[in-house]
Amino acid sequence: MRAWSLTDQGRVRKQNQDACRFLQFALGDGTETLAAVVCDGMGGAKAGNIASEMAVEAFMEELQKDFYAPSVTDVQMLCAVKTANRLIFEKARSDPDYEGMGTTLVAAVTDGMRLTVANVGDSRCYLIRDGSIHQLTKDHSVVEDMVDRGEIERADAWKHPRRNYITRALGAEEQVECDLFFRDLVPGDVLLLCSDGLSGVVNPQELLFEVVYGGEIETAAERMVNIALERGAPDNVTALVVANDDPQTGLL
């Protein structure tokens, strides 16, 4: 497995409140595992970037606590999310400068065969396989709820004026509800984790094109971010690409 990431403050925002990271490590039985996370912070000039960085750090630290475990379990994933939520919530409550801060989180953990994705907010994880792209996560947003209730069509959701209003975030409340998604992976699969600064400007078919036809996989994240920048990038933009290489050949 290989991964690449790029984050940019965009053309409008004065500060980048997105954060991302990936980490490869071996578990107790020698199984190579990759963890990747993207967070999109909120809460003002001083706080949004702090929340997203805290979430990324706490999530990764929690996952690495038991190096001798045979696998990263669902319980560990949820514990990592809840730890990040608690730290952000407590900091926001104890310091007026950070009041109201929070962050989205989308994270993926995989050994190349089994994938677990955790999601809070509207940052997304896509799976690209056999020339198709599938959104694995479901946005926790006002607009997504409106789609579910049949009030608007999904095709119109991307341009709705309330599309940036989220209904869940780390740090917003003392307890957080996190969704988990599970998939089996095969060699050649590609994962894309991104903030809404990318998914809100570049549509899924365009993201698919960049992975499959746009050029080398190593530069796919850069190409995606550049498209958003060319279109004005009104928000921070983050893309994290994970390639599930063939373990025999090392090729996609």
CA atoms within 13 A on the CB side of 197: 33
Residue 250 within any structural domain of the chain: no
Q: What is the pLDDT of residues 74-133, one digit of tens each?
A: 889 999 999 999 999 999 999 988 988 999 999 999 999 999 999 999 999 999 999 999
State the average pLDDT over residues 201-214: 95
Which segments within the chain are labelled E, that is strand?
Answer: 2-8, 18-26, 32-42, 102-103, 105-110, 114-120, 124-129, 132-135, 179-184, 190-194, 237-243
Q: What is the mean pLDDT of the chain?
A: 89
Residue 146 within any structural domain of the chain: yes
- The pTM of the full predicted model, rounded to 2 decimals, is 0.91
Q: Which domain holds residue 17?
A: 2-243
Residue 249 within any structural domain of the chain: no
Whether the per-residue pLDDT at 69 is higher than 70: the answer is no
Residue 194 within any structural domain of the chain: yes
Instruction: Give the residue carrying structure tokens 């498209």.
Output: 227
Under DSSP, is residue 75 helix (H, G, I), strand (E, B) or coil?
A: helix
Residue 251 within any structural domain of the chain: no
Confidence of residue 67 (pLDDT cuts 50, 70, 90): low
Q: How many domains does the chain have?
A: 1
β-sheet bridge partners, residue 126: 135, 192
State the average pLDDT over residues 170-196: 95
Q: What percent of the chain has pLDDT over 90?
A: 70
Residue 178 within any structural domain of the chain: yes
Residue 137 within any structural domain of the chain: yes
Residue 214 within any structural domain of the chain: yes
CATH number of the domain enclosing 29: 3.60.40.10
